[in-house]
Amino acid sequence: MTDKNDLSQSVTSLKGVGPKVAERLMKLGINEIQDLLFHLPLRYQDRTRLYPLASLRNQQEVLVEGTVRLSQIKFGRRRSLVCHIEDGAASLTLRFFHFSNTQLKQLTQGVRVRCFGEVRTGPASLEMVHPEYQIIQDDKLLPVEAELTPVYPTTEGLHQLSFRKMMVQALACLEKSDSLPELLVDAVRLHPVAEYSLAEALLYVHRPPPDVDIDALLERKHPTQRRLAYEELLAQQISMRRVRATMQSHAAPVLKSSNDHRQQLLEKLPFPLTNAQKRVVKEILADIALPIPMQRLVQGDVGSGKTVVAALAVVEAVSAGYQAVMMAPTELLAEQHFQTFKTWLEPLGLSVGWCVGKQTASQRREVLAALSSGEIQVAVGTHALFQDEVTFNNLGLVVIDEQHRFGVHQRLALRDKGRGSNSYPHQLVMTATPIPRTLSMTAYADLSISIIDELPPGRSPVKTVVVPDSRRSEIVDRVHIACQENRQVYWVCTLIEESEHLQCQAAEDAARELQEALPDLSIALVHGRMKSAEKELLMKAFKSGDVDLLVATTVIEVGVDVPNASLMVIENSERLGLAQLHQLRGRVGRGSVQSHCVLMYQSPLSKNGKARLSCLRDTNDGFKIAQRDLELRGPGELLGTRQTGLPQFRVANLLEDTDLLACLLYTSPSPRD
């Protein structure tokens, strides 16, 4: 027999929830009754008291009562029904643009009405447009609501009223049920957030009493909301740490070699490592020399030199007799890493192979055979490396570059690849999206973190200017001058309304116009819809200096390394996020000459848009930019749902609840070494 108050029951057990409604609820992530309970109001309406008409202010959402004094149809620009109501001291206008004959007959002189709606300043006096209203019969006293009325985030075809009806039932279930375990009160009894139990907090936020501190509630600062947020953050933290603990209970190969391959590579590099690189390499080597799987994240700004750090770890793994893979998010980047690794590793006698989606069936068969026999010691590729038919001989190390491009599920799935009977490969993930510390500790709670907080010497920071599109011809001149000085230039066309097709078209148009304006330059165009072979050919030509100006879509965002490129122009830069712009800009400033970045925008620029672009102009520090991006956009967007290991929180807000996060991270034992 099922318990009538079991909160894990499907929402379909509620009255009024049929298959259609259930489907819409599913869109909001609501399947069970308890999901409904954690679907919190966006805001509240106060229907607990009547406001005298004389007290009304513009934009207030209030409950009022009055007697209709005059009711007439006005024929202005739009026909409307206009009723004037009075409560003895003042009056208010009700305006309906859509109205029925019944309404016309109802709202006649002398009738008493109660209305709920937003007060607006109208042409002549304060008005309510399309208020909810109710006729009061025979001078009866209508009761007011005892609690504030919640307004829920919803989806098409699901009305507030249906939500409220479902919620009443769900809350009744909660009151009678004991199936919602109370965890916090016992676990952190001393913490102020544990003042309310889970059930109390839920009941409160769905049905706040009229004397609630409404401002606190609206700002999500009420103790009940903080308590719910805290539990959610804590739960996420615990589950990530559990993942980590489980991982650490497994074995991993000890990657420690006795030969001097690493030393040889270091000697052959045209540069010494920075201190930050040395430190991070040391941290990685210490990890992989242990018989438990490393789970380490390397955060380092664009251009900080993460590739060589990865290469050193790879060399160690292979020298110790294991295979290593390096996975990149795009074929372009995979190709580049493949070339780099060949240059660095083949002279040491190590074999480097590669595996991407575009390979022909016979090429692929060959690669697969070489991977499973162990003939390929280092494999570079895209996610094609992790398809089912790929098997390794003895995979010891997995490196994932630009990990923010992959989801957490991919990250977790990857470590099952190359898993032995009781052992897992070590895992190194690298990202150039620096995020503030509290955030990264949340997002990557299952990882140890290393930070490359230093750029190689001799780089002068990219100088950035923000200019309106109307100064395009000046910019074109600037491109010309740079190329005449034997520098190379990127011209980036940004995404138009999420349409790759339109973006490519825009890039094509830009390339054509630039070629007309600058006939003496060699111009190439790369975009996402081109065949990879063609793209690569052009990228190679750009790298070798045969192409002066590369017009591109945002496909070049990650990783591409052409040190001679010293100018980047980004069209419609206001459309991109700060982190993405910073990544793009990281394509220049890789050589020793002063580099420039021109952020073009379409006027007029919003205030927020202005603030964002100026932030980029004012600093080159990826961490500062990330912090600012966070403030201006909120963590969801900064990280992007697709792009992180971050779960979507229902209650907690990573930006606003940083204090809760901090206290959580300090009070619970750190898994870090």
The option from Mg ion, ligand ADP, none interacting with 302 (CB < 5 to 8 A, set by class) reads ligand ADP
117 secondary structure, DSSP code:
E
Nearest to 331 by CA among 361, 314, 311, 355: 355
Nearer to ligand ADP, 143 or 458 (CB): 458
Instruction: Find the part of the chain contacting ligand ADP (CB under 6 A) among 90-98, 254-262, 301-309, 618-626.
Output: 301-309
Nearer to Mg ion, 559 or 645 (CB): 559
Query: Binder to ligand ADP among 326, 432, 479, 630 (CB under 6 A)?
Result: 432
CB of 600 to Mg ion, least distance (A): 26
CA distances from 374 to 40, 80, 243, 351, 391 (A): 54, 79, 30, 10, 10
CB-closest chain residue to ligand ADP: 305
The option from Mg ion, ligand ADP, none interacting with 456 (CB < 5 to 8 A, set by class) reads ligand ADP
498 secondary structure, DSSP code:
T
Q: Which of residues 262-281 bind ligand ADP (CB under 6 A)?
A: 271, 273-274, 277
CB of 307 to ligand ADP, least distance (A): 3
CB of 309 to Mg ion, least distance (A): 10
CB of 488 to Mg ion, least distance (A): 19
**Cα gap 255→288, rounded to integer Å:** 5
The option from Mg ion, ligand ADP, none interacting with 561 (CB < 5 to 8 A, set by class) reads ligand ADP
Query: Binding of ligand ADP at residue 427 (CB under 6 A)?
Result: no
Nearer to Mg ion, 432 or 600 (CB): 432
Instruction: Give every CB contact of residue 657 below 8 A, 6+ residues apart in sequence.
Output: 226, 229, 230, 233
The option from Mg ion, ligand ADP, none interacting with 273 (CB < 5 to 8 A, set by class) reads ligand ADP
CA distances from 39 to 35, 36, 198, 334, 620 (A): 6, 5, 14, 42, 40
Nearest to 563 by CA among 595, 539, 599: 595
Q: 3-class DSSP state for residue 16?
A: coil
Query: Binder to ligand ADP among 71, 224, 237, 307 (CB under 6 A)?
Result: 307
Query: Binding of ligand ADP at residue 207 (CB under 6 A)?
Result: no
Number of residues that bind ligand ADP (CB under 6 A): 18
Nearer to ligand ADP, 84 or 405 (CB): 405
Beta bridge partners of 249: none
Q: Which of residues 589-648 bind Mg ion (CB under 5 A)?
A: none
- Asked if 72 and 61 count as a contact pair (C-beta separation under 8 A), the reply is no
User: Cis (ω within 30 of 0) for the bond into 468?
Assistant: no
Q: 3-class DSSP state for residue 450?
A: strand
Query: Binding of Mg ion at residue 559 (CB under 5 A)?
Result: yes
**Cα gap 439→442, rounded to integer Å:** 5
**Cα gap 42→624, rounded to integer Å:** 31
The 548-577 contact track toward ligand ADP, x by CB under 6 A, reads -----------x-x-x--------------
Nearer to ligand ADP, 451 or 599 (CB): 451
- Asked if 96 and 81 count as a contact pair (C-beta separation under 8 A), the reply is yes
What are the tokens at 157? 């075809």
What are the tokens at 318? 């292979």
Query: Binding of ligand ADP at residue 97 (CB under 6 A)?
Result: no
Query: Binding of ligand ADP at residue 590 (CB under 6 A)?
Result: yes
Q: 3-class DSSP state for residue 133?
A: strand
The option from ligand ADP, Mg ion, none interacting with 440 (CB < 5 to 8 A, set by class) reads none
Query: Binding of ligand ADP at residue 329 (CB under 6 A)?
Result: no
- Asked if 493 and 571 count as a contact pair (C-beta separation under 8 A), the reply is yes
Query: Binder to ligand ADP among 41, 150, 305, 425 (CB under 6 A)?
Result: 305
The option from Mg ion, ligand ADP, none interacting with 308 (CB < 5 to 8 A, set by class) reads ligand ADP
CA distances from 164 to 19, 36, 44 (A): 18, 11, 12
**Cα gap 81→113, rounded to integer Å:** 15
The option from Mg ion, ligand ADP, none interacting with 598 (CB < 5 to 8 A, set by class) reads none
Distance between first and last Cα of the chain? 50
Query: Binding of ligand ADP at residue 304 (CB under 6 A)?
Result: yes
Query: Binder to ligand ADP among 234, 297, 308, 570 (CB under 6 A)?
Result: 308
Instruction: Give every CB contact of residue 124 below 8 A, 6+ residues apart in sequence.
Output: 93
Nearer to Mg ion, 85 or 625 (CB): 625
**Cα gap 187→198, rounded to integer Å:** 12
Query: Binder to ligand ADP among 37, 148, 302, 598 (CB under 6 A)?
Result: 302
Nearer to Mg ion, 418 or 559 (CB): 559
Residue 134's identity, in one-letter code, is Q
**Cα gap 87→9, rounded to integer Å:** 48
The option from Mg ion, ligand ADP, none interacting with 450 (CB < 5 to 8 A, set by class) reads none
> How many C-alpha atoms does 577 have within 13 Å on its Cβ side?
21
Q: Where are the beta strands (DSSP E) in 8-105?
A: 43-45, 61-75, 79-86, 91-96
Query: Binding of Mg ion at residue 329 (CB under 5 A)?
Result: no
Query: Binding of Mg ion at residue 303 (CB under 5 A)?
Result: no
Nearer to ligand ADP, 353 or 622 (CB): 622
The 378-417 contact track toward ligand ADP, x by CB under 6 A, reads ----------------------------------------
The option from Mg ion, ligand ADP, none interacting with 582 (CB < 5 to 8 A, set by class) reads none
What are the tokens at 70? 């005059």
Query: Binding of Mg ion at residue 434 (CB under 5 A)?
Result: no
Q: Which position has the token pair 């894990």?
A: 8
CB of 389 to Mg ion, least distance (A): 28
CB of 506 to Mg ion, least distance (A): 27
CB of 48 to Mg ion, least distance (A): 58
Query: Binding of ligand ADP at residue 593 (CB under 6 A)?
Result: no
Instruction: Find the part of the chain contacting Mg ion (CB under 5 A) among 511-519, 528-536, 554-562, 615-623.
Output: 554-562
Q: 3-class DSSP state for residue 115?
A: strand
**Cα gap 447→644, rounded to integer Å:** 13
The option from Mg ion, ligand ADP, none interacting with 634 (CB < 5 to 8 A, set by class) reads none
CA distances from 418 to 250, 406, 414, 415 (A): 13, 19, 8, 7
**Cα gap 440→299, rounded to integer Å:** 10
The option from Mg ion, ligand ADP, none interacting with 590 (CB < 5 to 8 A, set by class) reads ligand ADP
CB of 566 to Mg ion, least distance (A): 19
Helix (H) or strand (E) holding 395: strand 395-400
Using only C-alpha atoms, the chain has a radius of gyration, in whole angstroms, of 31
**Total Cβ atoms within 10 A of residue 176:** 11
Q: Which of residues 281-300 bind ligand ADP (CB under 6 A)?
A: 300
CB of 306 to Mg ion, least distance (A): 5
**Total Cβ atoms within 10 A of residue 172:** 12
The option from Mg ion, ligand ADP, none interacting with 350 (CB < 5 to 8 A, set by class) reads none
Instruction: Find the part of the chain contacting ligand ADP (CB under 6 A) among 18-26, 109-117, 305-313, 600-608.
Output: 305-313
Q: Which position has the token pair 């069970």?
A: 32
Q: What does the binding site for ligand ADP look like in residue numbers (CB under 6 A)?
A: 271, 273-274, 277, 300, 302-308, 432, 456, 559, 561, 563, 590
Q: What does the binding site for Mg ion look like in residue numbers (CB under 5 A)?
A: 559
